[in-house]
């Protein structure tokens, strides 16, 4: 993700300030730089605070360069612990390579598609603003992206396991026809055909 976008500097500054001053916590807990970095290392920071941060999509050449640098940093062609050829390394716990054989081709495919990722409009036009409630302690503006995912993809995310809960075959078939569910393990082809024919 860091190869593709960065947070808008002004939004990021305001967010960090609110975290360090304790305005993001109902108890007024102040976060240290180390705690913020720990949140950023996982998905916690994105889940809690990304709504206050606009994403600036990098230009295609920058994305390609960042992907190359990322690949060079973590690939490994030898387990030599001293020289670390190609700038890469092994997983320190398992002592296996961090990448698989398919990683290089996946990175190349990402580089090829980088030209399609740029925002079509200036940053100000890519987000709707939701101003903070006057009673809010952090007083940060929320931003709703206009680019976002399609409604279909959003539905997939919210109902990822909707088809695996023992529903009736008819409902499963209807969801499949509408494109909401990719595959139904409990609906075989003969059941679908007989249902459609009836």
Confidence bin at 183 (pLDDT 50/70/90): very low
Q: Of all residues in the chain, what percent carry a pLDDT higher than 90?
A: 35
Residue 181: burial class (beta carbons within 10 Å; 0-12, 13-18, 19+): buried
Sign of the torsion formed by the C-alpha atoms of 182, 188, 191 and 194: positive
Mean pLDDT for 72-100 is 65
Which has the minimum average pLDDT: 54-63, 119-128, 142-151? 142-151
Which has the minimum average pLDDT: 51-60, 93-102, 188-197? 188-197
Ranges of each domain in the chain: 5-57+119-148, 60-116, 152-197
Could you give the CA distance from residue 193 to residue 81 in angstroms, rounded to a whole number? 59
Confidence bin at 20 (pLDDT 50/70/90): very high
The 10 Å Cβ neighbour count of residue 83 is 7
- Residue written as token pair 């003969």: 190
- Would you say residue 87 has pLDDT above 60? no
Give the three-state DSSP class for 9.
Answer: helix
Q: What is the pLDDT of residue 185?
A: 42
Q: What is the pLDDT of residue 192?
A: 41
């Amino acid at each position: 993700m860091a190869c593709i976008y960065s947070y808008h500097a002004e939004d990021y500054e305001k967010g960090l300030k609110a975290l360090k001053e304790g305005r993001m916590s109902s108890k007024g807990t102040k976060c240290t730089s180390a705690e913020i970095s720990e949140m950023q290392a996982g998905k916690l920071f994105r889940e809690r605070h990304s709504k206050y941060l606009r994403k600036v999509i990098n230009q295609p050449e920058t994305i390609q360069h960042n992907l190359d640098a990322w690949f060079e940093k973590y690939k490994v062609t030898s387990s030599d612990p001293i020289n670390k050829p190609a700038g890469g390394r092994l997983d320190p716990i398992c002592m296996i390579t961090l990448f698989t054989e398919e990683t290089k081709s996946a990175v190349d495919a990402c580089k090829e598609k980088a030209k399609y990722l740029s925002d079509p409009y200036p940053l100000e036009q890519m987000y709707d603003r939701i101003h903070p409630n006057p009673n809010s302690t952090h007083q940060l503006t929320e931003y709703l992206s206009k680019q976002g995912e399609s409604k279909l993809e959003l539905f997939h995310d919210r109902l990822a396991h909707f088809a695996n809960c023992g529903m009736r075959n008819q409902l499963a078939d209807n969801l499949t026809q509408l494109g909401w569910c990719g595959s139904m393990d409990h609906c075989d082809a003969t059941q679908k055909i007989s249902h459609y024919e009836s």
